[in-house]
């Protein structure tokens, strides 16, 4: 049975991060790109975060999350919703929520002195 084009496109957009010691997580390519760019990694179809690189990778992601969570006061006041209905409609998934699974995987892997591989259908 042939794979429908929409399913093929969705699968091509996924990136799998696999720990040598802990497990794996999957995310869409645009999010994986954002996180890998924070780490200074190229968004190739395959890559690695070595045992030696894990502490720096964790530090960089945590720093990016902290910086994203603290907008300037003027910007925060200007973007504050007027009421609860508007607040519910305007919610979005921030960097902290997107980075947390990868940070957890990196930490678990570091504790066991492993490494992380990522794989996608193509460069992204």
Helix (H) or strand (E) holding 121: none
80 within some domain? no
Asked whether residue 34 is assigned to any structural domain, the reply reads yes
Question: 25 lies in a domain?
Answer: yes
Domain total of the chain: 1
pLDDT at 88: 53
For residues 60 and 96, give the distance between their C-alpha atoms in angstroms, rounded to a whole number: 12
Output the pTM of the full model: 0.77
Q: Is residue 12 part of a domain?
A: yes
- For 9-120, strand residue ranges (E) read 14-19, 24-28, 46-49, 116-120
User: What does the pLDDT look like over 21-40, one tens digit per residue?
Assistant: 989 999 999 999 999 999 99
Q: Over 60: is that where the pLDDT of 82 sits? A: no
44's enclosing H/E stretch is none
Task: Describe the strand order of the beta sheet including 116-120 as a list of residue ranges.
Answer: 24-28, 14-19, 116-120, 46-49
**Predicted local confidence at residue 42, as pLDDT:** 96
Residue 109, domain member (yes or no): yes
Question: Is residue 13 in some structural domain?
Answer: yes
For residue 97, give its domain range. 8-67+92-120
How many angstroms separate the CA atoms of 114 and 22, rounded?
9
Closest of 15, 95, 14 to residue 47, by C-alpha:
15
Does the residue 82 lie in any domain? no
Task: Identify which has the larger pLDDT, 74 or 36.
Answer: 36
97 within some domain: yes
């Amino acid at each position: 049975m042939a794979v429908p084009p929409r399913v093929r496109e969705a699968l091509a957009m996924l990136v799998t991060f696999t720990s040598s010691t802990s497990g794996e997580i999957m995310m869409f390519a645009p999010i994986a790109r954002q996180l890998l760019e924070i780490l200074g990694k190229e968004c190739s179809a395959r890559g690695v975060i070595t045992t030696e690189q894990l502490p720096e990778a964790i530090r960089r992601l945590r720093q990016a999350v902290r910086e994203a969570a603290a907008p300037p006061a003027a910007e925060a006041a200007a973007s504050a919703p007027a009421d609860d209905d508007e607040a519910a409609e305007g919610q979005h998934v921030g960097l902290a929520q997107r980075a947390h699974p990868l940070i957890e995987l990196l930490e678990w892997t570091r504790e066991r002195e492993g490494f992380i591989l990522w794989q996608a259908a193509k460069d992204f």
